[in-house]
């Protein structure tokens, strides 16, 4: 596993992502030296959701159709209610997430983004957290839900909400630096 300053990290999102849950990891992981790419369904800029209304647009670096698991050392899935709901109906997104999880590399989901882990069938027998309103979905997918700012189980990192972003990003950095494949095998 590369050090964070030589790693490539994908943020997979579409319109309706929680503004801070994309922008904070993008900024902070970049400050650690990672090459961070926003990947989406189309090359058009994607627009965030900021509390009660549409937020700012973010440029898309690459299309999901043009990337492979081998291209990235970690994937970050921002939440918001709209973003993961739009992504989880896209089979190419769900297939990519499933394949990325099998690689053993860090896969991190915050807020409502664990819906993508549910859709990909990745939570059976795992410990996880999420925004409280999707707790039942996470539990029904077979996870043991914890009310913690971040939960790490194997190569999966989950977090509850924007207030947990510092711990969430710290967990991604730690896992990239220390090798997720080792944790996933444990």
Query: Could you tell me which residues are beta bridge partners of residue 53?
Result: 50
Dist. CA 155–CA 58, nearest whole Å: 27
Percentage of residues in the chain with pLDDT exceeding 70?
95
112 assigned to active site:
yes
Query: What is the count of structural domains for the chain?
Result: 1
Closest CA relative to residue 158, chosen from 186, 181, 132, 140: 132
157-171 pLDDT, tens digit each: 999 999 999 999 999
pTM above 0.85, yes or no: yes
* CATH number of the domain where residue 112 is located: 3.40.50.880
6-36 pLDDT, tens digit each: 899 999 999 999 999 999 999 999 999 999 9
Active-site pick, 32, 37, 112, 132: 112
State the residue range of the domain holding 138. Answer: 4-185
Residue 186's pLDDT band (cuts 50, 70, 90): very low
């Amino acid at each position: 596993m590369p050090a964070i300053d030589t790693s490539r990290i994908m943020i997979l999102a579409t319109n309706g992502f929680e503004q801070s849950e994309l922008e904070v990891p993008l900024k902070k992981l970049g400050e650690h030296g990672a090459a961070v790419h926003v990947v989406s369904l189309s090359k058009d800029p994607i627009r965030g959701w900021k509390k009660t209304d549409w937020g700012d647009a973010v440029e898309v670096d690459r299309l999901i159709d043009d990337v492979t698991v081998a291209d990235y050392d970690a994937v970050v899935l921002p939440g918001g209610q709209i973003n993961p709901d739009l992504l989880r109906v896209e089979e190419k997104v769900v297939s990519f997430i499933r394949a990325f999880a099998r690689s053993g590399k860090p896969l991190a989901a915050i807020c409502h983004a664990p819906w993508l882990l549910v859709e990909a069938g990745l939570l059976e027998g795992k410990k996880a957290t999420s925004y409280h309103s999707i707790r039942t979905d996470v539990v029904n997918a077979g996870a043991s839900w914890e009310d913690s700012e971040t939960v790490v189980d194997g190569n999966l990192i989950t977090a509850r909400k924007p207030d947990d972003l510092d711990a969430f990003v710290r967990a991604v950095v730690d896992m990239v630096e220390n090798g997720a494949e080792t944790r996933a095998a444990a």
